[in-house]
Structure 1
Amino acid sequence: MRNFWANVIGNQLVWLCAVIGAGHGLRWPALLAAVAYIASQLAMSARPGVDLKVLLMAVLCGLVVDGIAGASGRVVYAAAWPAAAVAPVWILALWAAFAMTLTVSLQVLQRRVWLAAVLGLLAPLAYLSAARGWSSVSFPAPSWHGVALLAAGWAVALPLLAVCARHWQRTASPVTGNSNGAHA
């Protein structure tokens, strides 16, 4: 098994780099942290192809969920693209890093899709923390509209990602000779 704690802590460090950097108008901290974290997770992965597929699907989900949220004007991102209709690169880096947790520390969501939907409803708590702690996100009044929009998007995206991860892991070729202790 890949190191559970390295997976959890690494993902949280990416989140901190992203929101603190964005709060200061910088995109590169998120990109640098995400690339380092993702590379480390892929190096420990028994099925890196599966992880890469989940990562690509997560980035697509981020483009839709955060793109719609930004385009609606209900959520305003610091360090954003010139067009609000495109999710900022630092948010997409977070989605990519988050994808690495779906085959390790959040693997349980693959078997409990209902739990993925419930956790998706709670995802805006991270956005609220980013807003209050580092001003990397803001919610124009009435702020609950932006929170609800993100909750709805995540409540659909997270179960979709969990189902995809489970399907791709089941259909992936078994890995032989993996000496690093990783498993799918």
Structure 2
Amino acid sequence: MSGLLRTRVLNFVLYQSGWLCCVLGAANGRPWLGAGLGLVPVLAHLGLARRRGEEASLMLGALALGIVVDTLHMRMGTLSFQGGLLVSGFPPPWLLLLWLQFASTLRYCLSWLLGRYVLGAVLGFVAGAVAYWAGVRLGAATFGVDTAHGLLRIGLSWGICLPLLLIIAQRAEEEGGTYRFF
């Protein structure tokens, strides 16, 4: 297995394990434990990345976007999230951690999407809605509207967010060159 393939596989495994920790922690009434365990893959990613500062900047940009998007979903009644709220009306930390985790994939296991903004919009629409639906099905969130409208709203927001995140990641990629852990 080449170094680049190993990097992408490891990145995917870190992301998926972090997602599961956060979502299952919230679904099982232990959102802080899930967030704590979900932080481990983020720290591992930053520890392995060659350009930690650029990765951290990308993650913080995604976090800012996540605060806005998930706060809007909560305030519009699209979703409510289980446990761990620090401030009423704002997303819980475990959910915001998912945005950091997702950002860690953009220049690694999802690097094939860089520059493909239309495909990113389609994938964001579908995969974003599926990921939130999975969280609802596992018990980490509930829809405040009927499922179809909730999925449509989430899909639309992710159909916009993923291309925006790809643009940010693409610009960093062009300025910094190829990224590999190994």
- With the length of structure 2 as denominator, give the TM-score of the two structures: 0.88
Distance 2:118 2:88 in 1: 31
- 2:165 is aligned with what amino acid? L
Question: Secondary structure at 2:50's aligned position in 1?
Answer: coil
Identity among equivalent pairs (%): 28
What is the number of equivalent residue pairs in this alignment? 177
Identify if the C-alpha distance between structure 1 residues 139 and 95 changes in structure 2 by more than 3 Å, giving closer, same or farther: same
Is the Cα contact below 8 Å between 2:63 and 2:100 reproduced in 1? yes
Is the Cα contact below 8 Å between 1:54 and 1:99 reproduced in 2? yes
1:35 match = 39
Distance 1:112 1:141 in 2: 32
Gaps of 5+ in 2: none
1:9-48 alignment, distance < 5 Å: 9-48=13-52
- 1:112 is aligned with what amino acid? R
Distance 1:141 1:46 in 2: 43
1:57 match = 61
- With the length of structure 1 as denominator, give the TM-score of the two structures: 0.87
Is the Cα contact below 8 Å between 1:70 and 1:84 reproduced in 2? no
- 2:107 is aligned with what amino acid? T
2:169 match = 165
1:128 match = 133
Is the Cα contact below 8 Å between 1:68 and 1:85 reproduced in 2? no
Higher helix share: 2
Gaps of 5+ in 1: none
Identify if the C-alpha distance between structure 1 residues 39 and 83 changes in structure 2 by more than 3 Å, giving closer, same or farther: closer
Distance 1:82 1:51 in 2: 26
CA displacement at 1:82 relative to structure 2: 6.4
